């Protein structure tokens, strides 16, 4: 039997448990619909820590964050914040996110893929065009989940995310729609995204009003997007935290997102190493 000291060290070295575990019906809905809203899984204290991290990333954005943001239109974005921001580092290693992902991934290991900020100020006219994620990610595998965490109350007025139910099962693979500086990510061999907004009645759209503490969890192939923030007073801050299991490998296809240079992976390597830390190991 372990000594109490050893048990204490092991316990503090592990990420915290979520406020509650996902139910069987939530896991089934995620498999079938490609997305779920999981209410009340994060404590206010973690929401506050994410808010502090976002504030720091806003005050001192990375060079990439400067490029991705359109501050004159009330939109801020950043990527891989955990590499330079201690608050986000704690969120990767200590928060309940790894354990939430573990429930979905069905994998012995749970590895952090990357984190991403999406902030839309009141009145921001910047939409997130309809897209799916996996086509422009340089990875392949099945065990992948994104956790989208709002820090503010979110409604359809304040740029709530929308999803096409079941679209993760479609065989279509769509071109990314990007600002000019990211046009290298548009793969000409893929289909154009249909005009979903002009034909909204043809699709089964899912969206939720969210409170801080609630999260959305979704499949990397589900088609999703969000409008600008038409509310007058409510900023919409969100962290997307992305996780993978043991079957996911580095696959640097053309027209995919660039990664930090020092990841040390060769094509076909299991995702891991210093830039993609494995937070839960073989449990």
Ligand X SMILES: O=C(O)CCC(=O)C(=O)O
Binding site for ligand X (CB under 6 A): 118, 128, 133, 146, 148, 161, 224, 226, 238, 240
In the complex, minimum distance from the CB of residue 217 to ligand X, in angstroms, rounded to a whole number: 11
In the complex, minimum distance from the CB of residue 281 to ligand X, in angstroms, rounded to a whole number: 26
In the complex, minimum distance from the CB of residue 54 to ligand X, in angstroms, rounded to a whole number: 13
C-beta of 226 vs 235, nearer to ligand X: 226
DSSP annotation string for 248-263: -EE---TT-----GGG
C-beta of 215 vs 268, nearer to ligand X: 215
In the complex, minimum distance from the CB of residue 277 to ligand X, in angstroms, rounded to a whole number: 20
Distance CA 75, CA 192 (A): 25
In the complex, minimum distance from the CB of residue 227 to ligand X, in angstroms, rounded to a whole number: 9
C-beta of 133 vs 152, nearer to ligand X: 133
Exposed/middle/buried for residue 105 (C-beta within 10 Å: 0-12, 13-18, 19+): buried
C-beta of 128 vs 143, nearer to ligand X: 128
In the complex, minimum distance from the CB of residue 161 to ligand X, in angstroms, rounded to a whole number: 6
Cβ(51)–Cβ(151) below 8 Å: yes
C-beta of 101 vs 269, nearer to ligand X: 101
C-beta of 142 vs 283, nearer to ligand X: 142
C-beta of 24 vs 138, nearer to ligand X: 138
In the complex, minimum distance from the CB of residue 68 to ligand X, in angstroms, rounded to a whole number: 12
C-beta of 111 vs 146, nearer to ligand X: 146
In the complex, minimum distance from the CB of residue 65 to ligand X, in angstroms, rounded to a whole number: 15
DSSP annotation string for the chain: ---HHHHHHHHHTSPPPPSSPPPHHHHHHHHHHSEEEE-S-S-HHHHHHHHHHHHHHHHS--HHHHHH-BGGGTEEEEE-GGGT-HHHHHHHHTSTHHHHHHHHH--S-EEEEEEEEEEE-TT----EEEE-SGGGSSEE-S-EEEEEEESS-B-TTBT--EEETTGGG-S--B-----GGGGGG--TTSBPPP-TGGGGGGS-EE---B-BTBEEEE-TTS-EEE--B--SS--EEEEEEEEE-TT-EE---TT-----GGG-PPTTPBS-SSSS-EEE---
């Amino acid at each position: 039997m372990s000594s109490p000291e050893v048990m204490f060290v092991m316990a503090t070295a592990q990420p915290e448990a979520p406020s509650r575990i996902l139910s069987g019906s939530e896991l089934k809905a995620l498999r079938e619909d490609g997305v779920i809203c999981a209410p009340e899984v994060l404590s206010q204290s973690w929401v506050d820590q994410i808010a502090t991290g976002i504030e720091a990333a806003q005050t001192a954005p990375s060079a990439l964050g400067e490029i991705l943001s359109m501050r004159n239109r009330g939109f801020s974005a950043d990527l891989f914040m955990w590499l330079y921001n201690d608050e986000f580092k704690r969120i990767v290693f200590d928060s309940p996110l790894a354990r939430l992902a573990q429930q979905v991934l069905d994998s012995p290991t749970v590895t952090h893929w990357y984190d991403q900020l999406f902030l839309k100020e009141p009145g921001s006219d910047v939409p997130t065009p309809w897209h799916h994620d996996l086509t422009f990610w340089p990875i392949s595998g099945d065990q992948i989940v994104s956790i989208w965490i709002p820090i503010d109350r979110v409604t359809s007025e304040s740029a709530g995310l929308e999803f096409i139910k079941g679209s993760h099962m479609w065989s279509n693979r769509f071109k990314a729609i990007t600002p000019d500086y990211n046009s290298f990510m548009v793969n000409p061999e893929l289909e154009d995204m249909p005009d979903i907004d002009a034909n909204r009645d043809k699709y089964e759209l899912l969206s939720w009003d969210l409170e801080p503490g609630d999260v959305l969890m979704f499949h990397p192939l589900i088609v999703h997007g969000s409008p600008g923030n038409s509310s007058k007073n409510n900023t919409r801050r969100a962290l997307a935290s992305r996780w993978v299991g043991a079957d996911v490998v580095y696959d640097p296809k053309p027209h995919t997102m660039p990664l930090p240079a020092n990841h040390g992976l060769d094509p076909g390597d299991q995702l891991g190493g210093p830039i993609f830390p494995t937070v839960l190991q073989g449990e």
